[in-house]
Amino acid sequence: MAGIYIHIPFCKRRCIYCDFFSTTQSEKKPTYIHALCQELEIRKDYLQGEDIETIYLGGGTPSQLSLEELESIFTTIYNIYKVKEDAEITLEANPDDLAPEYVAMLRQLPVNRISMGIQTFQEDIVKLLHRRHTAQQAIEAFQRCRNAGFQNISIDLIYGLPNETLETWREDLKKALSLYPEHISAYHLIYEEGTALWNLREQHQVEEADEELSVTLFKTLIDKLTQAGYQHYEISNFCLPGLHSRHNSSYWTGKKYLGCGPSAHSFNGLSRQWNVTSLEAYINGMSLGKPDYEIEELDLYTRYNDFVITSIRTCRGMSLSHLHTEYGEELYRYCLRMAKSYLEQGLLEKKGDNLKLTPKGIFISDGIMSDLLWVE
């Protein structure tokens, strides 16, 4: 089983915190869609004929595409690849794009999961972030999707925002839970160098949340969502039972995936490759039938490090038998040696065959994962 990721780089405007590859050159959409469909054709053998169980349209803002543009993408995929009948097919959407006619249009497509970028319900912060929607529009868009028949909706939230307090975060969580989405992704705000938000911090116009507040917000997130019946199945992701993101989970379980579009990454089990981060270079390469990408062959130690980073962050943790079988005695013993002090401190635990974070360990997961990595 494998997945396909489609990058749609178009945005009406950039949010001040975003460092994903995106563009406001919407006039290039027709040319881009043609190039994207060419890549899907050119790279049809990358997944070696495996069935497709997930398709994910991310961005950018995929909800900037028209019916005709989305139909072109799906027609190409279904003509070339074997897509399972029960495939999870996700489209990322901005709330203000989800007008009644657009939601009705989406129901004509294979899309069966909506991932909605709400981020916060605090109107002043929504404006600061340069989001296009209001908090009320986000609520109405969610309800519109639900009423149209979408039974699998994910919402994104961000915490650690400028001027955020524990009280405003509790308010955000209360409103999110009142919608009762099947899935919630919640990420701590990162000040990425080169973004408008980074510049505002450097100019002392906004202040970064301190560590104590960040930990308190994260703990509140876990407590509130688990009390409401959500499973904390990955560090930043929560779902109602059985409704985890199958596509994102494939990244954490080592499944193959094909990434199409500028900046998109692919993985076939033995190598990683990523497309050029330029709309013009991407389109030009496809017009010549020569995709512009870089490739990295993965040696044993790199694959081990990938396994550590992707598996430890999930609720299942790391399969020790898989570690031993796939990566050998040396790395198996190395991992257990590096994990020993964390096991003694109650930050990691063994449950059956798995090595996993404890509730206490989740709060310092980055440090734990870093120490388990192989360093020459």
300-372, what's its fold?
Answer: Arc Repressor Mutant, subunit A (1.10.10)
Q: What is the largest CA-CA distance in the chain?
A: 58
- For residue 21, how many other CB atoms are within 10 A of its CB? 19
**Architecture of the CATH domain 2-251:** Alpha-Beta Barrel (3.20)
Query: Where is pLDDT greater, at 195 or 87?
Result: 87
| Residue entry with tokens 């019916």 | 67
If we measure between CA atoms, which residue out of 169, 157, 168 comes closest to residue 217?
169
Contact 44, 96 (CB under 8 A): no
Q: What amino acid is encoded at 190 in this protein?
A: I
pTM: 0.94
Structural contact between residues 21 and 6, judged by C-beta atoms closer than 8 angstroms = no
CATH 1.10.10.920 domain residues, the chain: 300-372
Q: What is the pLDDT of residues 232-272, one digit of tens each?
A: 999 999 999 999 999 999 998 889 999 999 999 999 999 99
* Residue pLDDT, tens place only, 104-127: 999 999 999 999 999 999 998 888
Percent of the chain at pLDDT exceeding 90? 83
Q: Measuring CA to CA, how many Å separate 177 from each of 113, 164, 180?
A: 18, 19, 5
Residue 181 and residue 179: Cα distance in Å, rounded? 6
Q: Letter for the amino acid at 171?
A: E
Using one digit for the tens of pLDDT, what is the confidence trace for 145-183? 999 999 999 999 999 999 899 999 999 999 999 999 999
